[in-house]
Chain A
Amino acid sequence: MATSALELSDVDAYYGDSHVLQGVTLRLGQGRLLGLLGRNGAGKTTCMNVTVGLLPPRRGGVLVFGEEVARLRPEQIALRGVALVPQGRRVFRSLTVRENLMVAARRPVNGGAAAWTLDTVYAMFPRLEERKAQMAAYLSGGEQQMLAIGRALMSNPRVLLMDEPSEGLAPQIVADVMATIRKLKASGLSIVLVEQNPQLVFEIADDIVILNTGRVAVAAPAAEVAGGAVDLGQHLGVF
C-alpha cells in the first residue's frame, strides 16, 4: 500500500475534560479527496485542529506522508506541507490581500519549483488581484474564502485541509469554490474537505468518513455512501 498523504490513527483528543475525539482513525490517499462529514459538534474541526497541531492529541498518531507529526508545533507541521483553509476563513484582517498571500509563501517540501506563486494564485482568483491592496477585512465573504484558499496554496502544500469552505456563502459562490476544489484535485493535491452538506461532497469526493459524537461512524468509498448503502439520516440528521 502506498504511503498515505495523511493518516490519523486511533486519535484521542480533549478540550479540557471533554473527550471530543475518541479513537478516530482516518486515511487520506495521495491525490485523493476525502470528504469528512458529520453533525455540528461531531469532531470534524477538531480533526483539523489535531492535524495542524493546534490541539495536540492525548493519544494516537498523525502521519503526514508517513512522518509522525503529532508532537510537533503548528509551524513545524506547516513546514511538512500541510495547509489549512480554516473554518470561518480567518484571513488576517488588518493585512492587505497581497500581504495575506505573501506571509504564507513557501517553497514545496520536496524542494522543487513552486507551483503556487502570487502570479498563479492571481490567475486562479483574478478577483484577488483586483483587490490586492485592500485590507482583507473589507472583502466580501466569497472573496475572503478565495483569499483563505489562496493563502493555503501559497505554501505549496502536499495536503490541503478545507474546513467548511462553503459556509455562509451564496450558492453561486459555493459553485465557484467547488469548481476550484475540483481543479486543485485535478492538479494532484491530496485534500480533506470538511462539510455539513453531504450532497456537495458526494459529487467530488473519492472517499467519505462520517463522524458521530467523536467517533468514526462510516468510512467508505464515496460512490457507496452516495448510492444509499449508508443510512445518512442516522448519522447526519438528513434524509
Chain B
Amino acid sequence: MSLWLTLAVNSVALGGLLFLLSAGFSLIFGLMRIPNLMHGSFFMLGAYLGVTFLDRGVNFWLAALGAGLLTGLVGGLIERFLLRRLEGQVLPQVLLTLGFAFIIGDVCLMVWTGDPWQPATPAQLQGAVQVAGLFFPLYRLVILAVAVVVAIALWVMVDWTRLGAMIRAGVDDPPIARVVGIKVSQLFTLVFALGAALAAFAGVMGAPYLSVYPGLDFEMLPLALIVVILGGTGSLLGALVGSFLIGFLYNFGQAMVPDLAYVILFLPMLLVLVLRPQGLFGKVGA
C-alpha cells in the first residue's frame, strides 16, 4: 500500500476516534456551556478500564461498553454533585474540571503505573480487507464504521426524538423549559454522562493502536478542543467534519512536515477563530 493511502486510512481512523471523543465534548460545551477540561481524562480513564477488562479476558465490545458505562457514571456523579453548583460560572468550572483532570491522571498513574499498555487488536478484527485491489487494515475501517453509527445515533437522538427536543429546549431557554415541566438539570446530567461515556468508549477503541500511557489525557484534550472550535460548538455535523479534518491534518502534517506538525494543526483553528468565531457549522450567536 502506498504511503499516501496508508496516511489516508490512518487519518480516517483517527478522525473516527476524534469524533467519538469530541461529539460529547461538543454537546457538553455547546449545549451546557461547560468547558470540560477533563474530557481527555475520560478518554484515558476509559482506555485504562477497557484494557483492564481485556486483560481479564472480557470480550472487546463488552470491555468498551463497560468502560463507557463506568466512566459515564463517574462523569454523571461529578456533574450532579459538583459542577451543578457552579452553573454559569465559567472560571470555577474550568478550575474544577482541570483539577479533576489532574486527580484522574494521578489515580490512573497509581493504579496502572507509568508503563504503557497496548492491548492486541481483537482477533476477529485483525488483518486486512481487500477493496478494489487495495488492502485496508480492518480495524481502522471498524473504527470508522463505529464513528458513523454513533454519529447517526446521536443525530437521531438530538434532532428526531422528544428527548432531544427537550434537551434543545433546555438549551434555548432554561428557565422557561423548567416552567414547561422539563427536568433540565437531569437532562444535563444525562448529556454529561453520555459525553463522558463516549469519550471512554473512544479510549478503548483507540487503545490497540494509540496504546494507553500517562499523558494521553492531555494529548487528546487539545485535539478535542481544536475539533470543536473548528466545527462549531454544539454542532454534531461540525464535530464530524472537524474530526476528519484534524485526522488528516495530523497524519499528513506529521509525515510531510514533522517540524511544523503542530503549526499545521493549530493554524486552521486560529484562522477559524479570527474569521469565523462560531466555527464552520456553529450558529451565529449560539
Stretch of A9-17, A99-107, A119-127, A138-146 contacting B (4+ beta carbons < 8 Å):
A99-107
Q: B80: CB under 8 A from chain A?
A: no
User: Do B165 and A103 touch across chains, with their CB atoms under 8 A apart?
Assistant: yes
Name the CB-closest residue of B to A96.
B165
A103→B172 CA distance, assembly (Å):
13
Interface size on B, residues (CB 8 A): 19
In the complex, the answer to whether B175 meets A74 with C-beta atoms within 8 Å is yes
The answer to whether the Cβ of B84 comes within 8 Å of any Cβ in the partner chain is no
Category for how many chain A residues contact B: 20 to 34
A42 at the interface (CB under 8 A from B): no
- A92 & B178 in contact (Cβ 8 Å cutoff): no
Q: Is A90 an interface residue (CB 8 A)?
A: yes
The smallest C-beta distance from A127 to any residue of chain B, in angstroms, reads: 21
Check A92–B173 contact: CB distance below 8 A.
yes
Chain A residues near B176: list those with CB within 8 A. Answer: 84, 86, 90, 92
Cβ of B154 under 8 Å from chain A: no
Cβ–Cβ < 8 Å partners of B183 in chain A: 75
| A70 CB, nearest partner CB in chain B, Å | 15
**Is B168 a contact of A75 with CB atoms below 8 Å?**
no
Tell me whether B175 and A54 are in contact (CB under 8 A): yes
Bound: A176/B183 CA distance, A: 33
User: Do A155 and B168 touch across chains, with their CB atoms under 8 A apart?
Assistant: no
Question: When chains A and B are docked, how far (Å) is the Cα of A92 from the Cα of B174?
Answer: 10
Q: B181, A102: Cβ atoms under 8 Å?
A: no
Complex alpha-carbon distance, A99 and B175, angstroms? 17
Does B94 lie at the interface of the complex (its beta carbon under 8 Å from any beta carbon of A)? Answer: no
Known: A95-B165, A102-B165, A103-B162. A75 touches B173 (CB 8 A): no
Using Cβ atoms and an 8 Å threshold, which residues of chain A touch B169? 92, 95, 99-100, 103
Q: In angstroms, how far is the closest chain B Cβ from the Cβ of A72? A: 11
Contact B181 A155 (CB under 8 A): yes
Q: Is the CB of B178 within 8 A of A93?
A: no
**Which residues in window 203-231 of A have CB below 8 A to B?**
none
Is the CB–CB distance between B175 and A95 below 8 Å? no
* Cross-chain contact B180 with A78 (CB below 8 angstroms): yes
B74 within 8 A of A: no
- Alpha-carbon gap, A100 to B162, bound state (A): 10
Chain A 85-139 interface residues, beta-carbon cutoff 8 Å to B: 86, 90, 92-95, 99-100, 102-104, 106
In the complex, what residues of A have CB within 8 A of residue B171's CB? Answer: 94
Asked whether A94 lies within 8 Å of B168 as measured between CB atoms, the reply is yes
* Other A-B pairs, 17, CB within 8 Å; known A54-B175, A84-B179: A53-B179, A54-B179, A78-B180, A92-B169, A92-B172, A92-B176, A94-B283, A95-B172, A99-B165, A99-B169, A100-B169, A102-B162, A102-B165, A103-B166, A104-B181, A151-B180, A155-B180
Q: List 18 A-B contacts (CB under 8 A).
A: A53-B178, A74-B175, A74-B179, A78-B180, A84-B176, A84-B179, A90-B173, A90-B176, A92-B168, A92-B169, A92-B173, A94-B171, A99-B162, A99-B165, A99-B168, A99-B169, A102-B165, A106-B181
Chain B residues within CB distance 8 Å of chain A: 162, 165-166, 168-169, 171-173, 175-184, 283
Instruction: Give the 9 A-B CB pairs with smallest separation, nearest first.
Output: A78-B181, A74-B178, A99-B165, A92-B172, A92-B169, A104-B180, A52-B179, A74-B179, A90-B176
